[in-house]
Amino acid sequence: MLKTRTIVMILSFFMSEANAIVNMDNLHLNSNKGGISGNFNLNSSGAYGNSEQFLIESGADFYAKQSQSLQYLTLNYSYGESFSKENQNKSYVHLRHINNVDSSSTWEIFTQIEQNKFARLNFRGLVGGGYRWSFLKHSKHSSSIIGVGAYFSEEYLTHSSDISEERSLQLFRGNFYWIFRTNILENITLFNTTYYQPDLENPDDYRVLEIAGIKIPLSKNLRLNLYGEGTFDSKPPANVKKGDLSYKTGIEYKF
């Protein structure tokens, strides 16, 4: 089964949701035994009175581990309202295959589909791959991963009568990431994740993900989620902000 997951994140970001980044820290910094394992999570937040907000997010991760390889599937859906008006609706499905090269390095291939209504993203499909290296392999308290790769992305933007913009885009992006985790107390883990994804033909067009957080287990299989996430897109679609921030609370069950 998986080791205890990193599930509590508290961070300020300056980012946008028009991105192709899915956070992989839970995959890259956990080593399973053979067989199938996974987890389900449900997060929600709300406010009533002078401000009225509602947000719910659900997701699931599944892992199939063989002797030299790992298959990983993750699904996520988020829906939110403010004063009874929809203000968030996004989802993604991500599938990844990882194969060991030696004790500290692996290669990986992946594919993903996603939509984000309020980033004008009607559909994005991508396929890519890369190589990653593990560090601090002999440390009992810390782990670190560096990954280098690229992917091809095709996306379709929602049409708007007052926006003159190409509705379909095809491009190659680099995919570079660094993930670090360390135990600060016996049952509390601190981690940081950084992703950088530039357009390989136009480096001024790039996307970034930065996450930091804390893990707090409630029991052997149950965890509390308090976390934030966001991205920065240097060239977002028209009428979409470059920066965005979100934070959520919820619970996660591991099996």
Mode of pairing for the β-strands spanning 222-229 and 53-65: unpaired
d(CA 172, CA 197): 10
Structure tokens at 174: 């680099």
As beta bridge partners, residue 242 has none
Q: Please give the pLDDT value at position 26.
A: 56
Amino acid symbol at 196: Y
- For 222, other C-beta atoms within 10 Å of its C-beta total 12
Burial class (CB in 10 A: 0-12, 13-18, 19+), 5: buried
Residues 6+ apart with CB under 8 A from 140: none
Q: What is the pLDDT along the chain (255 residues), one digit of tens a residue?
A: 333 333 323 222 222 333 455 655 555 545 555 788 888 888 777 767 666 888 888 888 888 988 888 999 999 999 989 888 898 899 999 999 999 998 889 999 999 999 988 878 889 999 999 999 988 877 878 889 999 999 999 988 876 655 555 567 888 999 999 998 888 877 777 788 889 999 999 999 999 888 877 777 888 888 777 676 778 889 887 777 887 776 766 677 777
